[in-house]
């Protein structure tokens, strides 16, 4: 079910006429619903007996891709003007379509509800942004702790638990977002109590968990590293609408863009408390901002920014998804800043392109780069390597001199809704071709 406004795939490049370091962006820019929130409630709809209604749905390709998978396994998905309606079927197919599942990492989240509800699931290794190895060993080990048996052939993993999953005491070796969400969902329909230790604490997980609780799940410890779930029956939405939370990564990226090229930009429909780690760095660097509960305003600063060092970390630490935009910020700050990407071994590769634009960046190893600034950037022909680096290229192209062309816009469209229209509204000279 493609979205009405899904960008045509042949319009797959952005062209930006760089502002040459001028601070002229002005006005309000609104934040969309978070991709990493909606994908999880879409998967969780398989835990429900009735319809889950979702609002503030972002118009992004990953939602289209997950919708396709859900429809292929038998879930009825309806889109209305305001809501995306997900109808859980009585009997979904439990084999995920190979092509669809390989398109996005979040397809693996479906394994939790499917295995728990129907006693089996088959799926290929999930795809998604190419930012590192992204194994699924924690998922498999957790399901095994809950009594599932895993077999693997050339194409698929198959998990089976014909008499249902059993509650278990599970320690995650890494506070994985996806594993926390998936096992949390599985545990809501398992027999007995599940304890998740070293669970991830991202706001999207909390948002999902509170909705599941409202729908009948027994979950304690939400937002802490120890989550306790007492398994029970299918959940009931009872017409409670799930409002997708604002995308904190989009809000943070807009804030970085505004700090680099803004006169006065107000980022609306956001929750600044979700990007405290970014705001703490802004304070150290000298970014002038004002916030209230739902907006963040960035003002032009006369003096150059001071460089800072960053280390990506699970929430509430500095998000890996903001690392690339922040690296662009550091190319314009005075001094040296070390960027330590702790999560993904492939998530600094894009810095080669930023060096081609004129940045002074030294890579020590796949996890660490040193940035010396400020350096003027020059527009280039680029290809978005993934979603978050793609938006960082838009930021780099905006502050550079000359024209930048960013190909493979489809990577950016995976997670950012009508991005060029919203950016144009505050003065970014960007067009899609
Ligand atoms: N990991 C394992 N084994 C596993 C699971 C994870 O080794 O079984 C590793 C990963 O390889 C990674 C680390 O654990 O090094 C953390 O990964 P996590 O599982 O937390 O990430 P994820 O659930 O796959 C989500 C977001 C990512 C975001 C990360 C970290 C979604 C759909 N994706 O991924 O978002 O970077 O959490 O915050 O929620 C993006 O939106 O561009 C994106 C990549």
pLDDT at res. 4: 43
Task: Looking at the CA of residue 140, tell me the nearest atom of ligand 1.
Answer: 8
> In this predicted model, which residue has the larger pLDDT, 394 or 92?
394
| pLDDT for residue 136 is more than 70 | yes
pLDDT in tens, 45-65: 999 999 999 999 999 999 999
145 included as an active-site residue: no
Alpha helices in 288-408 (DSSP H): 323-331, 351-356, 387-399
| pLDDT, tens digit, 9 for 90 and up, residues 282-316 | 999 999 999 999 999 999 988 999 999 999 999 99
What per-residue confidence (pLDDT) applies to 125? 87
pLDDT higher than 90, residue 80: no
Ligand 1 pocket check for 105: Cβ under 6 Å: yes
Query: Is the C-beta atom of 107 inside 6 A of ligand 1?
Result: no
Q: Give the per-residue pLDDT at 266.
A: 98
> What pLDDT, on the 0 to 100 scale, is given for residue 128?
65
Averaged pLDDT for residues 212-231: 98
216-221 LR contacts (CB < 8 Å, sep 24+)? 217/47, 217/188, 218/188, 219/184, 219/188
Q: Which of 125, 134, 184 to mutate to test the pocket of ligand 1 (most atoms within 8 A of CB)?
A: 134
User: Which single residue is written with the structure tokens 């107000």?
Assistant: 266
Mean residue pLDDT across the chain:
94
Q: Is the CB of 316 under 6 A from ligand 1?
A: no
Beta-carbon contacts of residue 378 (< 8 Å; ≥ 6 apart): 357, 358, 400, 401, 402
- Alpha helix (H) residue ranges in 21-176: 35-44, 61-72, 98-103, 111-118, 137-145
Q: Specify which residues 290 forms β-bridges with.
A: 297
Strand-by-strand arrangement of the 218-220 sheet: 169-171, 193-197, 226-230, 218-220
CB 196 within 8 A of CB 156: no
Torsion, Cα of 396, 399, 403, 404 (10° steps) = 10
User: Is 94 near ligand 1, meaning CB less than 6 Å away?
Assistant: no
CA–centroid distance, 286 to ligand 1, in Å, is 31
Pocket perturbation via mutation, ligand 1, pick of 58, 174, 274, 416 by most ligand atoms within 8 A of CB: 174
Whether the per-residue pLDDT at 10 is higher than 80: the answer is no
**pLDDT for residue 5:** 45
Which band of pLDDT confidence, cut at 50, 70 and 90, is reported for residue 104?
A: confident
pLDDT of the residue at 91: 76
Residue whose Cα lies nearest atom 40 of ligand 1: it is 321
135 close to ligand 1 (CB < 6 Angstrom): yes
pLDDT tens digit string along 313-363? 999 999 999 999 999 999 999 999 999 999 999 999 999 999 999 999 999
**Ligand 1, atom 33: closest residue by C-alpha:** 36
Of 131-135, 198-202, 346-350, the poorest mean pLDDT is in 131-135
Instruction: State if residue 178 touches ligand 1 by the CB under 6 angstroms criterion.
Output: yes
């Amino acid at each position: 079910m493609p979205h009405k406004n899904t960008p045509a795939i042949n319009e797959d490049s952005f062209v930006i006429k760089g502002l040459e370091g001028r601070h002229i962006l002005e006005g309000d820019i609104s934040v969309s619903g978070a991709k990493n929130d909606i994908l999880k409630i879409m998967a969780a709809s398989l835990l429900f007996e009735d319809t889950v209604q979702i609002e503030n749905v972002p118009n992004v390709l990953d939602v289209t891709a997950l919708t396709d998978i859900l429809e292929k396994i038998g879930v009825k998905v309806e889109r209305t003007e305001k809501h995306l309606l997900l109808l859980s079927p009585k009997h979904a197919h439990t084999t995920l379509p190979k092509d669809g599942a390989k398109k996005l990492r979040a397809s693996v989240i479906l394994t939790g509800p499917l295995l728990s509800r129907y006693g089996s699931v088959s799926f290929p290794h999930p795809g998604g942004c190419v930012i590192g190895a992204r194994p699924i060993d924690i998922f498999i080990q957790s399901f095994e702790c809950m009594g599932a048996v895993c077999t693997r052939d050339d194409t698929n993993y198959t998990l089976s638990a014909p008499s249902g999953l059993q509650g278990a005491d599970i320690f995650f070796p890494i506070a994985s977002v996806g594993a926390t969400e998936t096992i949390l969902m599985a545990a809501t329909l398992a027999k007995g109590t599940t304890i998740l230790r070293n669970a991830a604490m991202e706001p999207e997980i909390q948002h999902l968990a509170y909705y599941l609780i409202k729908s009948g799940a027994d979950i304690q410890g939400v937002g802490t590293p120890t989550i306790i779930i007492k398994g029970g029956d299918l959940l009931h939405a009872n017409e409670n609408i799930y409002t997708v939370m604002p995308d904190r990564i989009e809000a943070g990226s807009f804030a970085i863009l505004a700090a680099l090229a803004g006169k006065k930009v107000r980022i609306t429909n956001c929750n600044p408390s979700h990007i405290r780690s970014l705001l703490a760095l802004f304070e150290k660097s000298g970014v002038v901002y004002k916030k209230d509960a739902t907006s963040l305003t960035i003002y032009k600063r006369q003096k150059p920014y001071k460089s800072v060092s960053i280390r990506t970390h699970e929430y509430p630490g500095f998000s890996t998804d903001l690392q690339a935009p922040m690296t662009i910020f550091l190319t314009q700050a005075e001094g040296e800043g070390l960027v330590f990407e702790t999560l993904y071994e492939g998530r600094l590769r894009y810095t080669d392109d930023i060096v081609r634009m004129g940045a002074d960046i030294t890579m020590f190893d796949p996890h660490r780069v040193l940035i010396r600034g400020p350096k003027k950037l020059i527009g280039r022909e680029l290809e978005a390597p993934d979603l978050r680096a793609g938006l960082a290229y838009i930021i780099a192209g905006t502050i550079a001199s000359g024209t930048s062309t960013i190909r493979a816009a489809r990577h950016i469209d995976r997670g950012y809704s009508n991005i060029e229209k919203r950016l144009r509204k505050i003065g970014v000279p960007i067009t899609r071709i």
